[in-house]
Amino acid sequence: MNDATTALDNSFRLDGRVAFVTGASSGIGQALALAFARAGARVALTARRVDRLAELAEVITAEGGQALAVALDVTDRAAITRAFDDVAAQLGIPDLILNNAGVAKPALFLKTDAATLESTMATNFTAAWNVSQEAARRLVAAKRGGSIINITSVLGIGVGAGHAAYSASKAALAHATRAMALEFVRYGIRVNGIAPGWFVTEMNTDFFATEEGVAYLKKTPPGRAGRLEELVGPALLLASDAGSFVNGVILTVDGGHHAALV
């Protein structure tokens, strides 16, 4: 391996970084938390299901990494502050944030009740806002740069019937991502988003196991769901020095699905 190849490989490394991952107990959050650890980051795994986090932490530790399981309800603002305090004390100040926690409760607009709208916005948008604000305040105070990655959605770019609340929450998060990128760049903090298309996770696995779900995927431009490992490369680009001049971007990882929605 020549020096240029080594330098390129090293630019994607996360050695010395502290990652704070929400919704790390399954799906996208779990996959990317593991990828961050394998790239050298110390990883704070946060979610409500702490038993799942402990299992993932054991996997990371067995591979020679360092991870901390932290129980967190991202809709509790005070709990976010406590979680950051715990992580800072045990791993260091988080400088890589992955806002991944989310919920989806499909319903037509006229059948979406107030409670569903409020819980969707609280988890998908407000929680990411609060986590980002807490992280950025600490990084600015410490005069350190960092990277914030928000998991938005292809449905935050184009919409589909039955997903009004979810689409609105993810579109709001995408716009907040751009606003943060504009304001935080002066502090050396980059803010970007990843807009996944359809990936089979616990949130939708029952639907995609049905004939209707299989037929739906076949009609999408890629004709299939994404594989979680296909999110790793994009996430590492945005997290690492390889993406040092990438800021304010919503990176679609959807096999081109968004092109058919806009």
Domain ranges across the chain: 3-198+231-249
Q: In the numeric block, which tokens belong to residue 62?
A: 């067995």
User: Residue 213 and residue 206: Cα distance in Å, rounded?
Assistant: 9
User: Residue 165 and residue 107: Cα distance in Å, rounded?
Assistant: 8
Cβ(16)–Cβ(40) below 8 Å? yes
Q: Find the helix or strand (DSSP H, E) in which 190 lies.
A: strand 189-196
Query: Residue 6's pLDDT is what?
Result: 64
Which of 36, 166, 198, 199 is catalytic? The answer is 166
Pairing mode of beta strands 67-71, 96-99: unpaired
216 is catalytic: no
Query: Residue 207's pLDDT is what?
Result: 82
Cβ(221)–Cβ(256) below 8 Å? yes
Which CATH topology does 3-198+231-249 take?
Answer: Rossmann fold (3.40.50)
Pairing mode of beta strands 42-47, 18-22: parallel
pTM of the model: 0.94
Q: In the numeric block, which tokens belong to residue 261?
A: 């929605």
Residues of the chain predicted below pLDDT 50: none
Query: Residue 160's pLDDT is what?
Result: 82
Query: Residue 4's pLDDT is what?
Result: 60
